[in-house]
Structure 1
Amino acid sequence: MNNEIKDFENKIRKYHSLPEAVVIDCKLIGYPFHILNIDLTYLANRQLQLVEEFVMKCINYDLKRQVEIAAFLGMDESLIEKVLSELLSKGLIQRENSLNLTELGSVSLEKQTVLAPLSETKTFYIDALSGKLNDKFYLNSFDSKNNSNFVLNKVVKKPRKNNIEDVVDYYEHIEKSLQNYNNSNQIELIQVNNIEKVYTEYHELSLVLYQRNPDDQEIEYEIFSRGNIQVDYRTTIEQLYAEGKKILDPIFQEIKDDKSIDFNDENKISASINYEDAKTVEKLSLKINSFNDPDLLIETKNKVIKEERQKLKQELEQIQTKSKISEIIHTYQHRDYLFKALREAKTRVMIVSPWIQGFAVDKNFLQQLEETLMRNIQVYIYYGIKGSNQQNDHRSIENLEKLSQSYKQFQFKNVKNTHRKILVCDSRFGIVTSFNFLSFRADPNLTYRDELGVIIRDKSTIEDLFQSGKSLCDS
Structure 2
Amino acid sequence: MPTFSEDSLLAVRFGNARTGFDLVGIVDAALPVARITAEVLAQDSKDIPLLEEYVLRLVDQGERTPESIAGFLGLDVAMVNQTVAVLFGSDDLRWTAPVPGTAPVPRLRLTEKGRFTATKAAAIVPVRVSQSLVFDRMLWRASPYSRRSTIARDVATEAGMIMLPAARSGPVEDGEVTAEEITTLLQENGTTTREVLQVKSIVQTRTCHVLPVKLLVYADAERAEIELGVVIDGELSDRHEIELIGFGGAKALGISVEPEPERPLLEPDFEMARIPLQEVTQKREEQAAVQLNSPAPLPSEPEAQEPPAEEIRAIGVFEHPELLDEALTSARKRILIISPWITGAIVTTAFVGKLERRLQRGVKVDIAYGYDDSENRTDPNAVRRLNNLAARYPEKLHVVRLKSNHAKILLYDDAWVTTSFNWLSFKGDPDRTYRVEEGTLIRNREKSGIYYTRYLELIDDNRR
Give the TM-score normalised by structure 2. 0.44
Give the TM-score normalised by structure 1. 0.43
Q: Name the structure, 1 or 2, with higher relative contact order (CA <8 Å, separation 6+).
A: 2
Name whichever structure is richer in helix by fraction.
1
